[in-house]
Chains A and B, each alone.
Chain A
Amino acid sequence: MKTALLISFSSLTRHIHQWLTDLVGHPKYVLLIEMALTGICLIGFLVMLSFFLGYMERKVAAFMQIRLGPNRVGPKGSLQIIADTVKLLFKEGLTPTAADKFLFNLAPYIMVITAMLVMAPIAFARDFQIWDISIGILYVSSVSSMAVIGILMAGWSSYNKYSLLGAMRSGAQIVSYELSIGLSLISIVILTGSLKMSDIVMSQQDGWWIFKGHLPILISFVIFIVASTAEINRAPFDLTEAESELTGGFHTEYSGMKFAMFLLSEYINLFVVSAIAATIFLGGWMPLHIGGLDSFNHAMDWIPSSLWFFGKTFFIIFIIMWFRWTFPRLRVDQLLNLEWKYLLPISMVNVLIVTLMAIMGWHF
């Protein structure tokens, strides 16, 4: 293993663990404190991340729309998003009179919590993972499908016709596209033989799956990107909020910080699906390796693993943003047609081919 050159976070975490054990003593309490610390770090990281993604989205949109984007607050407008957050914090959070107040207030939290939970098994860098759960992929796809509950809850409890329509659309949409996502993930699981995220990353040591897996994996990668864009309700599949049709869709009635929560969850989801795509198809933190070319692989190891991970993730995020600002929106029946008549059959056949490929050992 050529790991010596990589910057590893394990020594840092080991030091913290050692220090806490010396300080507190009982391993149970140490674990509790460590969990709390991780949670705080994760929340902080995610908030910073969504700030960055918000800024990035505006700049990318501006770039595509022949304008400048935010350029007043802070250097090159980089603090604009913080100003916006402060504004949202001070805004009044209105609750409609006829709304179901409990569900109405709960919905944004469910959205954010589900989005954050999916972060657990993602490996950000070598030896830097919160929870290397043995059913990683299954965990990701099951937890992320809970987001639809938040949307349905928001739409139903708002007591607004547009919200309800938006929520019903999202119910159909997310449940359908869940299938394609599952199938495209399965194709990698078949090749790797493991649901564990770390195993999947390690299996790409001599090349990423997108290169090793021939055309079928390329197809599942494309299907994954399309379906996950639909899953996180981004254009051209943003039917749940379809501004020109349903004003704001399921979050029409939300304002202030509760609205910000939906925005936060959207950006976290965007990051999560891109991170998963990067991990599964593009090798996660694994540098670009080509089996057999040792000197080349060695050179690639010099680039820190976290850079690899974030580079790939942001590349996919950029692609998703790119088609958000290029394509018109699909209609609701066309959306379901696309899934049930095209993506699902294609991915089913694709899984069969991948299985055959795995059995015969045709992949690299």
Chain B
Amino acid sequence: MKLLGEDVVTDDGLFVVNMGPQHPSTHGVLHLKVWLDGETIHKVQPHLGYIHRSIEKMSENLSYRNFIFATSRMDYLSAHINNEACALTVEKGLGIQAPPRAQVIRLLMAELTRLASHQLWWGCTGLDLGAVTPFFYAFRDREAINGIMEETCGARLTQNYMVPGGVMFDIHPNFQKRTKEVIEQCKKNLADYDQLLTGNVIFEQRTKGVGVLSKEDAISFGCTGPTARASGVSCDIRKWNPYGVYDKVLFEEVIRSEGDCYARYMCRMAEMKQSISIIEQMIDNIPEGDFQEKTKAVIKLPKGEFYQRVETARGELGVYIVSDGAASPYRVKYRSPGFSNLSALSHMAQGAKIGDLVAIMATIDLVIPDIDR
């Protein structure tokens, strides 16, 4: 039996450890090959493909109504926003716009999704850094938001609520009342979050100055979302390229300059507050009217290329559709935020400790099905 090989110890004495595909902190089936010098990380190489479902290829055989729902299975924590991106692209191709009511509903749903996603991320970050308790607090709050989703969309995680031309059905009569209650509660609970984790000395030690990503690197790796904004890159699509009614709401783009794990953490914590403020602005201002624009039974996009980008909880999601005029897309390509953010991991983790790698992975908020489509 050959005991030592290149996969155990390299010639220059580096210890090779495979983190994943089944590992508690890779949040799914990410496989990281890590070259270690003692505890210090020499090199990290992500290996992908464990959860590849060829969603892009599948979409070529699905109608323009159906292919949207495959995207709920990509970044499952922002299913609404993914669906919205696809719906917006198809609407662009058709040259229609969702009615005002649908647009506001979309915005509310997207911000609720973002809030829930960040809450889950907060819990998981605590878990990865060894504090188990935040996880339960995060799930308690997220559960309330999922309850709202369930009432209106009929599903909790993969909502499939967006259709070309609007939303699938009108909001539940309880929606506004419940959302207000949940938002009120979330505001109170955010203070708890800070008390439990943010101010903790050990937490600050674990995250400050760890996994620093400079502004230039963030741009060159194509990082987006809070990961890039923590490095000082202003890249919020909601601000720069507003879609829906984002140009009608007031919110701040949270930018920090440090670029370390703590900055990414604080960035997301502040984004939660922004999402709450957006929801508060719009929850009483849902216009009356149709929730869906009339579209043909079989949607056919004119020949051409269509691109739409949106801001998901993790960053910029781009949907690129090539149409040859048929009832299903000729080619679909998603620019997913997780993939680009992951590419910076190896750079950030160099010279860090194993514990830091976990902290970095937690703060760039990876969702593996988003990386592997």
Contact = CB atoms under 8 A, between A and B. Distances in A.
A238 B133 contact: no
Interface residues of A, number: 30
Nearest to B17: A161
A333 B353 contact: yes
A327 B202 contact: yes
Interface string B91-121: 0000000000000000000000000000000
A331 B127 CA distance: 14
A18 interface: no
A238 B132 CA distance: 13
Given A161-B15, A245-B354, A238 B130 contact: yes
A236 B23 CA distance: 20
A66 B137 contact: yes
Contacts of A3: none
Contacts of B206: 328-331, 334
Contacts of A66: 136-137, 140
A326 B355 contact: no
Interface string A52-84: 000000000100111100000000000000000
Nearest to A235: B130
A258 B77 CA distance: 39
A145 B196 CA distance: 33
A245 B205 CA distance: 17
Contacts of B176: none
B17 A328 contact: no
A239 B358 CA distance: 13
A301 to B, nearest CB: 40
Among B16, B132, B356: residue with most chain A CB under 10 A: B132
A275 to B, nearest CB: 26
A190 interface: no
Interface in B338-364: 353-358
B1 A326 contact: no
Given A328-B200, A334-B205, A244 B130 contact: yes
B369 interface: no
A247 B202 contact: no
A165 B39 contact: yes
A147 to B, nearest CB: 21
Interface in B4-31: 8, 15-17, 23-25
B132 A325 contact: yes
B3 A244 contact: no
A247 B203 contact: no
B173 to A, nearest CB: 30
A224 B153 CA distance: 55
Given A64-B133, A65-B136, A328-B197, A243 B353 contact: no
B131 interface: yes
Contacts of A244: 24-25, 127-130, 358
A329 B129 contact: yes
Contacts of B135: 65
B126 interface: yes
Contacts of A326: 131, 133, 196
A67 B133 CA distance: 10
A247 B23 contact: yes
Interface string B145-166: 0000000000000000000000
Nearest to B34: A161
A331 B356 contact: yes
A98 B1 CA distance: 9
Nearest to A238: B130
Contacts of B17: 161-162, 165
A328 to B, nearest CB: 4
Interface string B192-207: 0000110010110110
A357 interface: no
B24 A247 contact: yes
B355 A329 contact: yes
Interface string A238-251: 11001111110000
A242 B128 CA distance: 9
A245 B25 contact: yes
Nearest to B126: A328
Interface in B182-231: 196-197, 200, 202-203, 205-206
B355 A65 contact: no
A165 B132 CA distance: 22
A330 B205 contact: yes
A335 to B, nearest CB: 10
Contacts of A334: 202, 205-206
A281 to B, nearest CB: 24
Nearest to B196: A326
A316 to B, nearest CB: 20
Interface string A134-175: 000000000000000000000000000110010001000000
Given A65-B136, A67-B136, A245-B25, A328 B1 contact: no
Interface in A309-363: 325-334
Nearest to B354: A245
5 contacts: A65-B132, A65-B137, A325-B132, A328-B206, A334-B205
- Give the top 7 A-B pairs by smallest Cβ distance, nearest first: A329-B130, A328-B129, A65-B136, A244-B25, A331-B355, A328-B131, A244-B128
Given A244-B128, A328-B131, A332-B353, 11 more contacts: A65-B135, A66-B136, A162-B17, A169-B39, A236-B202, A246-B354, A326-B196, A327-B131, A329-B130, A332-B39, A332-B354
